[in-house]
Structure 1
Amino acid sequence: MASPEEFSDVNPAASPPVDNRKAFAKAEYPDASKSPGQTLDRDIALAKLEHEKKLSFIKAWEDREKAKVENKAEKKHFKVTSWENSKKASLEAQLRKIEEQLERKKAEYAEKMKNKEALIHKQAEEKRAIVEAKKGEWLFKTEQMADKYRSTGHVPKSGLRFFRD
C-alpha cells in the first residue's frame, strides 16, 4: 500500500488529462415539462401508499393475532366443557352405584322383614296350637268334673277354678 508521502511529490498538473465522460452514466434529470407541484403530489401519493401498505400489514397481523387468541380461548372452553362433562359423568356413576347399594340394602331389609313376619306367623300358629291344646284339656277336665258331679250327685260350689291361668 502506498503511504501519503509517496503521493505528496506528485504534481497533479503534470499528469495527463483523463476523459471521464464514459466512466459516469448520464444523470437523469426531471423533465422540464413536469412542474415541481406534480413531483410533490407524486411523493405525497407514494408516502400515502406506503403508509396504507403499513396499515394494511398491521391490520392483517392484528386479525391473525385475534384469530389465534379466539382459537386458544375456544380450545380452553372446550377443555373446560370436557372437564365438566367428565366430572358430571363421574358423579352420575357414583350416584348410580349408591342407588344400587341402597336397592340391595332395601331388598335385604325387605327379606329380613319377611323372615321376621314369617317367624311371627309361626310363633302365632304355635300359640294358637297351644291355646287349642289347652282348650281341649279344659273341655276334657270339664267333662270329667261334670261326670263326677253327675255320678256323686253333688253340685259344684264355685265357678270353674282351672280357667284362672
Structure 2
Amino acid sequence: MVERETESVYENEESVKEFSVEEKAIVSLPTEELPLIQKDESEVAKAMEKTKDRDVALAQVEMEKKLALIKAWEDNEKAKADNKAYKKLSALDAWESTKRASLEAQLKQIEEKFEKKKAEYGEKMKNKMSIVHRAAEENKASIEADRAGEFLTVEEVASKFRATGRIPKKLFACFSSF
C-alpha cells in the first residue's frame, strides 16, 4: 500500500512534468515575458518539510506494518497455545473416560461375583433351612408317633382296669395319699 502511494506520487510528478513540457511546446511564450524562477529559502524549507513529513509518514506506516505483523504473530502463537491446550485436554478427557469405563466394568464384575456368591449362599441357607425343617418334621412325626403309642398303651391299660375293675395305684401322683 505504501509502495502504491509512493508510485502514484512519482507518477503524478512525472505527468506534471510531461504536462508542463507539452504545454511549453504548444504555447510558446516569449522569453522576455518568462520570469526568472528563483527559489527562496522558504520554498526550500517547505520542500524539506514535505520530505520530512513524507519520511515521518513512511516511518509511521512502517511502524504500523511492524505492529500489525507483531499482532498477527501474537494471535498466531495464542491460537497455537489454545490448540495445544485443547488437544491435551481432549486427550486427558479420553484417558479419564477409558479409565472410568474400565473401573465401572470392574465394579460390575465384582457386583456380579457378589450376586453369584449371594445366590450361592442363599441357596445353601435355603438347603440348610429345608434340612432343619425336615429334621423338625421328622422329630414332630416321631413325637406324634410316641404320643399315639402312649395313648394306645394308656387305652389298653384303661381297658384292662375296666375289665378287672381295679383302680390304678398311681392315679394322680400328686394325690397319692388317697
Fold-level match, TM-score > 0.5? yes
Match for residue 80 of structure 2? 68
Alignment of 1:2-151 (within 5 A): 35-151=47-163
Are 1:158 and 2:170 matched, yes or no? yes
Normalised by the size of structure 2, how large is the TM-score? 0.67
Number of equivalenced pairs: 131
Q: Secondary structure at the match of 1:157?
A: coil
Q: 1:72 to 1:38 in 2, by over 3 A?
A: same
Q: Secondary structure at the match of 1:119?
A: helix
Normalised by the size of structure 1, how large is the TM-score? 0.72
CA deviation map 1:7-59 (0-9, x unaligned): xxxxxxxxxxxxxxxxxxxxxxxxx7771111111111111111111111111
Pick the structure with more helix per residue.
2
Residues of 2 paired with 1:45 and 1:75: CA distance? 44
CA deviation map 1:63-94 (0-9, x unaligned): 11111000001011111111211121122112
Q: Secondary structure at the match of 2:126?
A: helix
Residues of 1 paired with 2:102 and 2:172: CA distance? 76
Shift in Å, 1:112: 1.2
Residues of 2 paired with 1:137 and 1:146: CA distance? 14
- Name which structure has the greater RCO, CA cutoff 8 Å, separation 6+: 2
Residues of 1 paired with 2:171 and 2:96: CA distance? 85
- Identity score, percent: 52
**What is the CA RMSD across the aligned residues, in angstroms?**
2.2
Residues of 2 paired with 1:151 and 1:45: CA distance? 153
Residues of 2 paired with 1:141 and 1:37: CA distance? 150
Q: Secondary structure at the match of 2:166?
A: coil
Shift in Å, 1:160: 7.7
Poorly superposed stretches of 4+, deviation over 2 Å:
150-153
